Chain A
Amino acid sequence: MKRLVSLVSLLVVFSFVLAACGPAATEAPVVPTAAVAEPTAAVVEPTAAPTEPPAPVATLKIWADDTRTPILLEFAEEFRAKYNVEVVVEDLGRVQDIRTPMITAAPAGEGPDLFIGVHDWLGALVDSGLVAPIDLGAKAEEFLPLALQAFTYTDGKLYGVPYATENLGFFYNTELVATPPTTWAEVLDISRALKAEGKIEYAFGMAGGGYENLPVLTANGGYIFGLDDNGAWNPDDVGLDSAGMIAGVKWLADAAKEGLIPVTADYETAHQLFETGKAPFLMAGPWALDRIRASGVPYAVTKFPDDGAPFLGVQGFMVNAFSENILLAQSFLTEYVATQEFMQKIYDTGLRPSAFKAVAATMTDKDLVAMGEAGVNAIPMPNIPEMGSVWSAWNNGIALAVSGEQTPEESMTDAANQVRALIKGALAGMVNLPGSYQDQVGCGAQWDPACEATAMKAGDDGKYTLTVQLKAGDYEFKVALDGAWTVNYGSDGAQDGPNYKFTMPADGSVTFTYNPETKLVEIVIQ
């Protein structure tokens, strides 16, 4: 009887495991034949040629979203006919859904040659080595400068071919509001009057946190990151607790206290209130046009009051750095994508303002034109990875102020400090002396600002000290804070200054004393 069991179990094992181990096992129960036999969905068959088409000389794989896929498929057919290059388009759903597969698949060699994405992914993608730069040559002239700027990373290189921009626009109910307000104060005045008449419940609903209310915050002078001398985002300058930001949040909190804004920030609430005429205003992007139109509410889109600036998001095509067809991918972009015909098609179905000058100039959809105008002064969403540290803290800060749990000053100061702490990371507060001596004291490397063995200890006098044993020789070092190079001081006590140099005449110990006020280090050799 044991024989039977072991035989049966063996057979089961065999059919299961061998199914996994040998191509010969064609009848394995786990392998549904349908799935194996079918070709990939999106493989484009060549145009109906009477004879058997020649095997394609190359294959270009594109990851796109569901709106762009059909357009690409159309062009793919033409491409195949013309150059005998097969273009495979895989539909990954929404644009946002492309990022994660890219991050997991590309390093494993499973990624596409080209993919669609949003410009603020650049921080992660470029730093991870997943996208290749693109040279548009003279064609760059044909794109909106703001869109190209968004796809340009801090190294000055272009990493994407933009096709559409998106930003919030200011919606108002044309039945309730005859002429759109030009200041935020006016927005509240109009709403107060309408509310007194019993026509509305709120001025507008907050569809979310920072992103959705940015035009209010920027109108008051708020900002997220400052710019450095080269005009690039400066992650050391966090503006969440800037006076303008606090003023903007205070405006929201006051309006909520007065009952003109619902306390709960919610996308659905904001849209419902507007679509049912219970709120005369709404800040929303082109993605919401479909539902607003379907709701039948009389509306128009215009610029933000007080020149409030929304964020600008730019969608475009990027090239996978692990692609084996980088040159082909780039050629496809410059020859096919960066053309008026293609850009027009994308514009026609995408419901987004075009990033291509010639198409943008002939846009007929008045809402999209207005959206484009509302976005003239838009701020490209910072594409540095530090932006990831901002969202939760920022949104929480606004929510806490609006709910009245904290004052805007308190909540935004907290938020800014949270962001700074996240950017600094776990080693915030560390004072270190990275240098050429570090490998002698157990750091395993030189010039390591995060090495714990050379972290200085704070004394009662406010000064920091470190004593190490070194062999005879010449050494160099610098002061670095928070376990990173971001803040570092040279021998002149200035940021990015020259290295300290010292010589050990013989093996012995050396004591460093750092004064945080002068930012200078005193070296005492015993």
Chain B
Amino acid sequence: MASNKAQKIHKPGASDRGPIFSRLIQFILLVALDIGTVWFLIKLADLGYFPLAAAVLIIAIFVNVVLLRKKAYPIRWMLVGLVFMGLFTIYPIVFTVWVAFTNYGESHLITKQQAIDQILNLTYLPETGKAYSWTAFKSSGGEYALWLKDADGNGYLVKPGEPLSQPQPGEASVGALDGQGIPESIEGYQRLNGILAATDKNLMSIKFGEEGKTIQIRSPMEAAELQPLYQYDAEQDAMINQETGTVYKNLRGMFTSSAGQELRPGFVASIKWTNFRDFFISPALRGPIVRLVTWNFGFAFFSLLLNFSLGLAIAILYNDPDFPLKKLIRSLLIIPYTVPALITILIWRGMLNPDIGVVSRVLESLFGWSPPWFTDQWWAKIAILLVNLWLSYPYFMLICSGALQSIPDEIYAAAKVDGASPWQTFWKITLPLLLVAVGPLLIASFTFNFNNFNLIYLFNAGGPPMAGTPTPAGHTDILISYVYNLAFSGSRGVNYGFASAITIIIFLIVGTITLIQFRFTRMWEKVGENV
């Protein structure tokens, strides 16, 4: 076996004789690439996207190492793929892991800074404060003046930094009042209607009037002597209510007073292992875990077995080049794979419906009985497997048809000479050789079905329900559908942090299985190499 092939190719010779010119081009390209990356990194850092910048930096370093180190020659063949994988597959996984240690979810969606900014923007109207309706005037220089009207209909003029005045029409360049008591014009200013005024994003933050008694616009209807309601005390990491003096301290992503009052909104905060701990300590959250896991394995295993068997059988049965109309047969059999599963799952749901579904109706007219596909747990499980079989066998049919072509005819011929029956040929030759290529896909398919949320969710949402469980769960719920349901039904809304934590636990389970199954792939690989 060529165990050191990479090195062998690298033995001096061809490469060192290469013209300097092409190596120079390589080098220039790499430098250009790096310059581009650095520019991109600076931009990202400027915008404050540090996690992404870090990811890009790591990938860029990796690319450089691979391109500069001769030993990494084989990696160059897959560099493009690895770059994309790093950015669009691994980065999201890292993100998921990070989320698992936070309270990210509804009520805790935004960053701490965003939450602080929002809370600091809250204002209150002190008891002595006055509220007015407002009309904006704008000077050619972009300065604003407000014409205010209080509840009694008195008009006032106010400009930033100047005290409130109560000019009469004609005074202080104020023009005649219209029917609503608002001046038609103010000299040097243009009257704006509500919407035009609102197009200025900064209008709400302008403080009109003299220091200490400033007036701010708070809505299209109202401007008032508003005071900021909260102040942030960085030392205590707390918000202090200016009206009541109550202190709200940061408690796991929510400013909370000592009396337990919470200040909305919450923000994303690290909560360490809490999500994991919650799952393990709380019987309510764990639910009927043993039953769920058992069915989950059963579902994944039987799905794989059935889907692969049927796909393989079809591939073998109609692999014969002389079989009449085999093209037509294959084309018809691939159809389930071409129609979106979203609709076909629901069609199956309709066909199996006990009251109106065609399958149930036909069975009923033939045998006077039809299975309770949706209310009996065993029939529900059979139904799920059936639908999954229908959805997935074309995939295996395709793959097996392709992989079968790698088995040289001579082997079959030799087997035939040896007098092997077709059945023996299948078990001794076809299947082992096929598994070389298809084996890993079986593992992947197992794990895919292990987490096949869409099918369960669309077909019967995990039903029928189990009786007497601490949390809602269904007989056909698999771990991931159970967990999603749980993460979506927390009292604080959707809890992504919890969902991520359980995802990681599920990954540990599935990953372990995968690694165990890996031993077979080694074996398969050896089989392959010995051909």
Contact = CB atoms under 8 A, between A and B. Distances in A.
The reply, when asked whether chain A contacts chain B directly with Cβ atoms under 8 A, is yes
A324 B201 contact: yes
Interface in A458-497: 476, 480, 484-485, 488, 496
B471 A418 contact: yes
A2 B115 contact: no
Contacts of B258: 436, 446-447, 476, 499
A130 B267 CA distance: 11
A140 B372 CA distance: 52
A71 B458 CA distance: 33
Contacts of B108: 128
B284 A327 contact: no
A399 B110 CA distance: 38
A57 B199 contact: yes
Contacts of B218: 135
A3 B221 contact: no
A129 B265 contact: yes
Given A334-B221, A421-B471, A426-B284, A321 B118 contact: yes
Contacts of B110: 107, 128-130
Contacts of B465: 395-396, 399-400
A264 B360 CA distance: 13
B220 A389 contact: no
A81 to B, nearest CB: 13
B30 interface: yes
Nearest to B375: A403
A218 B217 CA distance: 45
Nearest to A393: B472
Interface stretch (A5-13, A184-192, A297-305): A5-13
B356 A328 contact: no
B24 to A, nearest CB: 12
Interface stretch (B141-149, B394-402, B488-496, B509-517): B488-496
B195 A335 contact: yes
A155 B265 CA distance: 12
A13 B472 contact: no
B51 to A, nearest CB: 13
Contacts of A447: 249, 251, 256-258, 260
Contact of B114 (A6, A107, A422): A107
A269 B199 contact: no
Given A124-B493, A388-B493, A3 B33 contact: no
Interface stretch (A17-25, A36-44, A173-181, A284-292): A17-25
Contact of B278 (A327, A392, A425, A476): A425
A189 B114 CA distance: 60
B374 interface: yes
Nearest to B40: A21
B31 to A, nearest CB: 11
A235 interface: yes
Contacts of A124: 106-107, 493-494
A388 B490 contact: yes
Interface stretch (B74-82, B176-184, B404-412): B74-82
A45 interface: no
Given A128-B265, A428-B284, A445-B251, A85 B195 contact: yes
A405 B109 contact: no
Contacts of B261: 485
B491 A235 contact: yes
A391 interface: yes
Interface string A98-128: 0000010001000000000000000110111
A432 B203 CA distance: 48
Nearest to B376: A403
Contacts of A488: 260
Contacts of A391: 489
B199 A268 contact: no
A502 to B, nearest CB: 15
B173 interface: no
- Describe B's contact surface by its main secondary structure: mixed
A335 B220 CA distance: 10
Given A264-B375, A324-B201, A399 B464 contact: yes
B284 A103 contact: no
A325 B201 contact: yes
Nearest to B201: A324
A422 B204 contact: no
A155 B262 CA distance: 12
B467 interface: yes
B491 A127 contact: no
- Choose among B37, B218, B465, B468 the residue with the greatest number of A CB atoms under 10 Å from its CB: B465
Interface residues of B, number: 99
A201 B361 CA distance: 14
A386 interface: yes
B313 to A, nearest CB: 34
Given A3-B15, A103-B106, A446-B249, A135 B219 contact: yes
B469 interface: yes
Nearest to A133: B219
Contact of A5 (B23, B76, B257, B260): B76
B76 A6 contact: yes
Given A21-B36, A124-B107, A264 B355 contact: yes
Contacts of A351: none
Nearest to B267: A129
A17 B33 contact: yes
B435 interface: no
Interface string A162-177: 0000000000000000
A468 to B, nearest CB: 18
A83 B195 contact: yes
A21 B37 contact: yes
A248 interface: no
B260 A449 contact: yes
B166 interface: no
Contacts of A427: 278, 282
A172 B24 CA distance: 83
Contacts of A422: 284, 471, 486, 489-491
Interface in B257-299: 257-261, 264-267, 277-279, 281-282, 284-285
B22 A7 contact: yes
A268 B265 contact: no
Contact of B77 (A9, A386, A415, A485): A9
Nearest to B264: A127
Contacts of A264: 353-355, 372, 374-375
Contact of A135 (B220, B250, B494): B220
A451 B493 CA distance: 22
B139 interface: no
B29 interface: yes
B463 interface: yes
Interface string B231-270: 0000000000000000001111000111111001111000
B33 A385 contact: no
A322 B113 CA distance: 13
B39 to A, nearest CB: 8
Interface string A313-329: 00000000110111110
A296 B104 CA distance: 49
Interface in A432-459: 434, 436, 445-450
A11 B267 CA distance: 45
B467 A411 contact: yes
A135 B220 CA distance: 8
A445 B472 contact: no
A9 B285 contact: no
Nearest to B217: A327
Contacts of B222: 135, 137
Contacts of A137: 219-222
Contacts of B264: 126-127, 129, 155
15 contacts: A9-B77, A9-B80, A13-B80, A14-B32, A17-B63, A22-B36, A124-B107, A137-B220, A262-B354, A268-B349, A321-B118, A334-B220, A405-B467, A425-B282, A449-B260
Given A3-B15, A85-B199, 5 more contacts: A17-B37, A107-B114, A235-B491, A334-B221, A390-B489
User: Can you list the 3 inter-chain pairs with the closest CB atoms, starting with the nearest?
Assistant: A129-B265, A485-B260, A426-B278
